Amino acid sequence: MSVKKFQIQISDQVVDDLKSRLGNSRWPNEIIDSGWERGTNKDYLKSLVSYWQHNYDWRAQENDLNQYPQFTCMVDDIDIHFVHVRGKGPNPIPVILTHGWPDSFIRYKKIIPLLTDPASFGGDPNDSFDVIIPSLPGFGFSSAPESSGYNNSKIADLWAKLMTEKLGYAKFAAAGGDVGSGVTRYLASNYHELLIGIHLTDVGELLIASNETNLSPEELEYKTAAWQWVGLEGGYVAIQSTKPQTLGYGLSDSPVGLAAWIIEKFRSWSGDNGNFEEKFSMDELLTNIMIYWVTNTIGSSTQLYYENSHGLPPMNQIKVPIAVALFPQDILVPEKSWVERYLNISRWSVMARGGHFTAMEEPKLFADDISVFFKTLRAS
């Protein structure tokens, strides 16, 4: 099927139902002075929900998102939603940007103008990109798989077909973080002849399960810290990798439950040591949550964790150039020497600041690193 133009148009019924549910929320007890230690803080969540109910304007956010050219296209049996913005320059490089969980395609919204029109920001028009940002299957406005098997490797297959068969690019670049890092690596592994290079913002999960024993003190320290993090913060991985369906009932029915599940990750994984409100506005946080709510895709999004832990195929060696940009307050920030034993790194950058939601937190740092890396590859 051909590529079709798309605009977000959520019915008044869905918006009115949400407001009703927010007004009839039932709140759990909270241990006094527990803060965020046991999960999402009740006082903060109540303030967010109050803003959501009385001040947040979905229609304004919907209109803002619709300023970006969006499309849908059937690839195999998934209707893929994506943003596609053409670069303003003599020879833009096409780059597909893959988001993760619990963010959405708006993870990369802030860097669209930086990559497509660098001249407007004092840059070189020769460094422009065509930017393609798809929504993962089962996330937001992409349709949800009806059968099992849609793991990172299968999604890479979809992206290769989208970029070549549907959009007509012979070669392209790719970048991603979180789940998007895994999808991007499979894309480069399985379709190296199509890839100019890949840019990643996290690769730490590669090393946690490593069976290596001859580790340096720094590598051993990283592995120990990583497993401690899994024990303290990895409960969401455990349930989403084993019983996502059970979780989905509650999160699909309660907007407050959905917000609590997502907001905790934005606070814990951002680069401001808990002061995440300085990095993300309430409108920005709620728009990301709304994308899950209005499409009823929180349940289908968590299924990806199950798929990736049940039958993900081994990855072939990646032959294309790889850039890794690490944001210092991200989770699982590994040692370069260890990563180099797994990946053929062409560029290694440690950003000055920032956490897990890279392009949302530090869009200019992120966009600049992508531009510098691919500038060296443009001639070839």
- Catalytic status, residue 356: yes
Exactly one of 130, 356, 368, 369 is catalytic; which is it? 356
State the pLDDT at residue 223: 84
State the pLDDT at residue 280: 93
Query: Along the 380 residues of the chain, how does pLDDT read in single tens digits?
Result: 699 999 999 999 999 999 999 999 999 999 999 999 999 999 999 999 999 999 999 999 999 999 999 999 999 999 999 999 999 999 999 999 999 999 999 999 999 999 999 999 999 999 999 999 999 999 999 999 999 999 999 999 999 999 999 999 999 999 999 999 999 999 999 999 999 999 999 987 777 766 777 788 888 888 888 889 889 999 999 999 999 999 999 999 999 999 999 999 999 999 765 678 888 999 999 999 999 999 999 999 999 999 999 999 999 999 999 999 999 999 888 888 888 888 989 999 999 999 999 999 999 999 999 999 999 898 76
- Catalytic status, residue 191: no
Taking CA 241 as the corner, what is the angle to CA 38 and CA 284, rounded to the nearest 5 degrees?
A: 60
Read off the tokens for 258: 């959905």
CB 70 within 8 A of CB 7: yes
State the pLDDT at residue 290: 98
Exactly one of 178, 330, 368, 369 is catalytic; which is it? 178
Residue with tokens 């109910």: 53
State the pLDDT at residue 224: 86
Q: Please state, in angstroms and as integers, the Cα–Cα distance from residue 214 to each residue in 222, 344, 345, following that order.
A: 14, 20, 21
Helix (H, G, I), strand (E, B) or coil at 20: helix
Q: Please state, in angstroms and as integers, the Cα–Cα distance from residue 137 to each residue in 140, 143, 181, following that order.
A: 8, 6, 15
What is this structure's pTM? 0.96
Rounded distance between C-alpha atoms, residue 160 and residue 345, angstroms: 22
Domains of the chain: 4-16+68-245+300-375 (3.40.50.1820)
Q: Please state, in angstroms and as integers, the Cα–Cα distance from residue 342 to each residue in 110, 223, 250, 356, following that order.
A: 31, 15, 39, 21
- Catalytic status, residue 44: no
Exactly one of 169, 305, 306, 369 is catalytic; which is it? 305
State the pLDDT at residue 226: 86
Closest Cα to residue 236, out of 171, 288, 298? 298
What's phi and psi for 17, nearest 5 deg?
-60, -40
Taking phi over 0 as left and psi of -120 to 50 as alpha, with beta for the rest, 221 belongs to alpha
What's phi and psi for 324, nearest 5 deg?
-125, 125
Establish whether the linkage from the previous residue to 102 is cis, with ω within 30° of 0: yes
